[in-house]
Homo-oligomer: A and B are copies of this chain.
């Protein structure tokens, strides 16, 4: 239990940050909510490893919360981006990299006839909603309860600083629940603009659920019937589960989809991809940003998507996720308890039974840090193509040690 001694630089940075940034750190990466044992600041990242500000090394299972899909500091991706940067990154318009990337995405994604680029995942979901309204002339957007679609007033998980009007045209339903979706569709009446769904149900602190094919097909049929847009928020899962888009395996095509995070292996970029039926609507809205045509990030995306498409990177990542999941299952059984492991193996959620206040999860993850792996107690985690079988096996040894620690401390009962 010496983590804080090892974190003197982290403490110093947090104190300095506290003077010039409200709460020191903001948003999803603020560790306040998950306990004092977490390092807040990092000094280095490489492959599947991160080093905190004090130089402690971890095998990483957060991957920068998604952007890292091929490994941090991926040589080919970064070389492509830097080669473009050497010609010029932003200018008074796009470069040929924008065309190359748009063609590649239209060719690769199973549902896309066109694309638009942004910087944030929230930009992409906001553009999708705006296009759906522009194309249909309707206003209502159906959103699953508990789903995360971004951090601006219309979709933020917090209501602080948000007005009721910001969400006036949202109607809630339950993911995978056809009856609930139908009730929301009825409520929207002839004002239905779109149905917005994450790739799978990945709500914070809860078991994950893959989408049921019948549910997706029902949503698809409802949009076909009403002319509304079926919108896939693939920001978190896109380019990690399937390079064709996360619903390709279900045979259900969205009208509009939002991508970001993994699309350029950490270089800042987002994209909206859409179907022919929504091209005209997409061309009517005004959407832009100062850095959206930055071509270095686009070059990084071209290389990232090519590698994902042409290599076994994603199959390997899934296999590593399954190896980690199976190992955790075996180890926890040996210790005499069971874990709830849900969702895609490469985006795992690991929860403890009966751990309503996440006391066990927090203690386990804190112990895991001391054993050299970086996990998250209540958000889905991420694996990347840089994880090797040896990394996973070492991570499992660390997890084994962390389970032993919390068992011996009486935090977890076998």
Q: Write the residues of chain A forming the contact surface with B, with a CB cutoff of 8 angstroms.
A: 13, 16-17, 19-23, 25-29, 31, 39-46, 50, 53, 60, 62, 64-68, 72-73, 78, 82, 85-96, 98-99, 102-103, 105-106, 113-116, 119-123, 126, 129-134, 139, 151-154, 156-158, 160-163, 165-166, 168-169, 235, 260-261, 266-268, 279-294, 297, 374
Query: What's the nearest-Cβ distance from chain B to residue A136, in Å?
Result: 9
> How long is the Cα–Cα vector from A47 to B166 in the complex, in angstroms?
43
Cβ contact of A21, chosen from B25, B114, B130, cutoff 8 A: B114
CA distance A44 to B123 in the complex (A): 27
Residue pair B72, A133 in contact (C-beta under 8 Å)? no
Residue in B95, B106, B166 whose beta carbon sits within 8 Å of that of A41 in the complex: B95
Structural contact, B95 and A286, CB atoms closer than 8 A:
no
> Are A152's CB and B168's CB within 8 A?
no
A-B CB contact pairs (8 Å), 6 listed = A26-B116, A45-B90, A132-B161, A151-B286, A266-B291, A268-B291
Q: A17-B98, A41-B94, A103-B20 are in contact. Are A291 and B67 (CB under 8 A)?
A: yes
Contact among B17, B122, B169, B268 for A102, CB-based, below 8 A:
B17
- Of the candidates B90, B116, B123, B126, the one whose C-beta lies within 8 Å of that of A67 is B90
Known A120-B290, A163-B169; contact A65-B92, beta-carbon cutoff 8 A: yes
Residues of B within 8 A of A21 (CB): 98-99, 102, 114-116
A88 proximity list for chain B (CB < 8 A): 42-46, 50, 72-73
Assess whether B121 is in contact with A120, with CB atoms less than 8 Å apart: no
B261 near A25: Cβ-Cβ < 8 Å: no
- In the complex, the chain B residue whose C-beta lies closest to that of A21 is B102
Do B285 and A160 touch across chains, with their CB atoms under 8 A apart?
yes
Best-surrounded residue of A62, A65, A152 (most CB of chain B within 10 A):
A152
- Whether the pair A294, B282 counts as a contact (CB closer than 8 A) is no
Q: Find A94's partner among B40, B73, B289 (CB 8 Å cutoff).
A: B40
A43 vs B84: C-alpha distance when bound (angstroms): 9
Question: Max chain B CB contacts within 10 Å: which of A280, A281, A283?
Answer: A283
- On chain B, the residues within 8 Å of A91 by CB distance are 42, 45, 50, 60, 64, 72
In the complex, the answer to whether B27 meets A158 with C-beta atoms within 8 Å is no
Contact A123 B120 (CB under 8 A): yes
Are A65 and B290 neighbours in the complex by a CB distance under 8 Å? yes
